[in-house]
A and B are shown apart, each in its own frame.
Chain A
């Protein structure tokens, strides 16, 4: 059974940092691109970043480029989102998903909430 589980969210002050983790199981992890998507409270979905199978290709939304870094550890079947210089507008539930191709995500985790507030 394919499973994706995010962790690492929490309350952080503006300007602070946080690292999100996404643990995957039930599929050949190193065969798939992985993607992070976020959803601010009461709002729609926003694509954040993706990473290719071996971690050599990374892409970011304009809103996070230069502040967030996506990475993966294929030995641990995990993908990470390192978030720096956090802003109030980064407050959201962050979802990790398996990328079927063209950013179409066929398996999602339950999400982890990041709250940026003083």
Chain B
């Protein structure tokens, strides 16, 4: 089973700053990775699929990159609505989540 480890657990930033969330896999497999955003009381929303493709309607400030065992979600300039929890996923495995909070 692949274990996905996200870091940091919490990211404290101000609007306008750049956010970088890391997702490390316990083993390298040639399987695409997805990123989701979840706000309190809501369902997760797909942001990135196939490691780097933006889902429908997702702003260009969100980008995904990486390969092998290390993947990254980058938010180039945080908007107020971006403060949320972010999860990575590879097949049936989810990371533990990263909370992006207002500093």
Chain A positions near chain B (C-beta within 8 angstroms): 37, 44-47, 59, 61, 95, 100-111
- Identify B91's interface contact among A103, A106, A108, CB under 8 A: A103
A-B contact pairs, 16 of them (CB 8 A): A44-B94, A44-B95, A45-B94, A46-B94, A59-B92, A100-B46, A100-B49, A102-B31, A102-B50, A103-B91, A104-B32, A106-B46, A108-B45, A108-B46, A110-B43, A111-B43
The tally of residues in B whose CB lies under 8 Å from a CB in A reads 24
Q: Mark out the residues of chain B between 38 and 52 whose CB falls within 8 Å of any chain A CB in the assembled complex.
A: 38, 42-46, 49-50
Task: Report the nearest A residue to B48, measured CB to CB.
Answer: A104
A95 touches B97 (CB 8 A): no
| Interface-central residue, B55, B56, B94, B97, by most chain A CB under 10 Å | B94
Please list the 9 inter-chain residue pairs (A to B) with the smallest Cβ-Cβ separation, ordered nearest first: A108-B43, A47-B92, A104-B34, A45-B94, A104-B49, A106-B46, A44-B97, A103-B91, A102-B32
Q: How far is the CA of A106 from the CA of B47 in the complex (A)?
A: 9
B93 at the interface (CB under 8 A from A): yes
Q: Is B96 an interface residue (CB 8 A)?
A: yes
Which residue on chain A has the smallest CB distance to residue B56?
A: A106
Task: Tell yes or no: B87 within 8 A of A by CB.
Answer: yes
Picked from B44, B45, B46, the residue with its CB within 8 Å of the CB of A45 is B44
Within 8 Å of chain A (Cβ to Cβ): is B72?
no
Please name all residues of chain B whose beta carbon is closer than 8 Å to the beta carbon of A102 when the two chains form the complex: 31-32, 34, 50, 90-91
A109-B43 Cα distance, complex, nearest whole Å: 7
Enumerate chain A residues within 8 angstroms of B90, measured Cβ to Cβ: 102
Per the bound structure, the CA–CA distance linking A75 and B97 in Å amounts to 37
Contact indicator B92/A44 (Cβ below 8 Å): no
In the complex, what residue of chain B is closest to A47 when comparing beta carbons? B92
